[in-house]
Amino acid sequence: MVSLGVTSNYMKKILIELNLEEYDQENQVSLDLENIFIRQFEYDGSFADISNQFYPALGEGILITSDSFNDIEIINVKLIGQRDLSAFEELLNQLKEVSVDQDYFYREISNIDLTKYIQIEDEDFKDIEEIKTFLDLKKVEYRIVQNAVTYERGASGFFSGFLVGFSANIATEVFKEIIIYLKSRYKSNKFLEADLTEKIKTFIIKEYNLKPTDLFLSKIELETDGIYSYTFRTKKLKINVEVSSKNGEIIKLVSHKK
Which pLDDT tens digit goes with each residue over 193-232?
Answer: 999 989 999 999 999 999 999 999 999 999 877 899 999 9
Residues 38 and 155 in one domain: no
In angstroms, the Cα distances linking 112 to 66, 68, 145, 164 are 18, 15, 11, 11
Predicted TM-score (pTM) of the model is 0.87
Residues 82 and 119 in one domain: no
Same domain for 32 and 73, yes or no, is yes
Burial environment of residue 242 by CB neighbours within 10 A (0 to 12, 13 to 18, 19 or more): middle
Single residue among 87, 107, 127 that ends a domain in this structure: 107
Residues 134 and 164 in one domain: yes
Q: Do 133 and 221 belong together in one domain? A: yes
Closest CA to 157 of 65, 228, 91, 36: 65
User: pLDDT tens digits for 42-80?
Assistant: 998 888 888 888 988 988 889 999 999 999 999 999 888
> Could you give the CA distance from residue 234 to residue 26 in angstroms, rounded to a whole number?
30
Please report, for residues 75, 115, 193, 222, the alpha-carbon distance to residue 120 in angstroms, rounded to integers and kept in the order given.
20, 16, 9, 12
CB burial of residue 195 (10 Å; 0-12, 13-18, 19+): middle
pLDDT tens, position by position, 226-247? 899 999 999 888 999 999 988 8
Show the domain range for 42. Answer: 12-107
- Whether residue 6 is contained in a domain is answered as no
Count of domains for the chain: 2
Shared-domain flag, residues 86 and 143: no
Whether residue 39 sits in one domain with residue 21? yes
Cα→Cα distances 111→18, 116, 143, 167, 240, Å: 23, 11, 7, 10, 16
The SS3 assignment for 59 reads coil
Residue-wise pLDDT tens digits, 74-97: 999 988 888 888 999 999 998 899
159 with 40, same domain: the answer is no
Structural domain contains residue 1 = no
Q: Is residue 7 part of a domain?
A: no
Residue 3: inside a domain, yes or no?
no
- Specify whether 96 is located in the same domain as 125: no
Element holding 147 (H helix, E strand): strand 142-153
Is 43 found in the same domain as 72?
yes
